[in-house]
Amino acid sequence: MKRFAALALALFIPFASLCACTVKPVQTKGSITVKDSVGREVSVPDNPQSICTLCPFSGPVIVMLGLGERITSFTNNAARSKLLMQICPSLSNAAVVKNSGSVNAEEILARNTDLIIINSGVYYSDTERKKIEAIGKPFIVIDYDTIDDQLKAVEILGKALEREKKANEYISYFKSVTEKAKQIAKGTDIRLYHSVNEAVRTDYKGSYCAEWIALTGAENVSLMDSGLSIEGDKAYTTLEQIYVWNPDIIICNESMVDDYILSDPKWKGLSCVQSKQVYQIPIGITRWGHPSSFETPLAILWLLNLLYPDTSEIDMNYEIIDFYKKFFDYTISNEWLEAIIDGSEMREPRTGNREDAA
Same fold? 10-17+28-167, 186-342: yes
More confident residue, 35 or 227: 35
pLDDT at 350: 60
Sort residue 217 into left (φ over 0), alpha (ψ -120 to 50) or beta: left
CA distance 49 to 27: 10
CA distance 322 to 319: 5
Q: What is the pLDDT of residues 54-99, one digit of tens each?
A: 999 999 999 999 999 999 999 988 889 999 999 999 999 999 998 7
Confidence of residue 353 (pLDDT cuts 50, 70, 90): very low
CA distance 67 to 56: 16
CA-closest candidate to residue 36, choices 166, 143, 129 = 143
3-state secondary structure of 335: helix
Q: What is the pLDDT of residues 188-207, one digit of tens each?
A: 789 999 999 999 999 999 99
3-state secondary structure of 163: coil
Threshold 0.85, pTM exceeds: yes
3-state secondary structure of 116: strand
| Contact (Cβ atoms closer than 8 angstroms) between residue 225 and residue 245 | yes
pLDDT at 189: 86
Listed in sequence order, the DSSP H helices in the chain are 2-20, 58-64, 76-79, 82-87, 105-110, 120-123, 126-135, 147-160, 164-184, 208-214, 239-245, 257-263, 271-274, 296-307, 316-328, 334-342
- Alpha carbon 315 to its chain centroid, in Å, reads 24
Superfamily (CATH H level) for 186-342: Nitrogenase molybdenum iron protein domain (3.40.50.1980)
| Contact (Cβ atoms closer than 8 angstroms) between residue 95 and residue 73 | yes
Is the pLDDT confidence value at 27 over 60?
no
Q: What is the CA radius of gyration of the chain?
A: 21
Q: What is the pLDDT of residues 239-252, one digit of tens each?
A: 999 999 999 999 99
Q: What is the pLDDT of residues 152-185, one digit of tens each?
A: 999 999 999 999 999 999 999 999 999 999 999 9
Confidence of residue 16 (pLDDT cuts 50, 70, 90): very low
Cα four-point dihedral sign 279, 287, 193, 258? positive
Output b/e per residue, 284-302; b: 16+ Cβ within 10 A: bbbbbbbbbbbbbbbbbbb
CB atoms within 10 A of CB 35: 13
Residue 342 CA: distances (Å) to CA of 254, 282, 337, 346? 11, 6, 9, 9
Domain segments of the chain as ranges:
10-17+28-167, 186-342
pLDDT at 149: 97
CATH 3.40.50.1980 fits 10-17+28-167, yes or no: yes
Q: What is the pLDDT of residues 263-320, one digit of tens each?
A: 999 999 999 999 999 999 999 999 999 999 999 999 999 999 999 999 999 999 999 9
| DSSP secondary structure letter of residue 104 | -
Contacts of 315 (CB under 8 A, 6+ apart): none
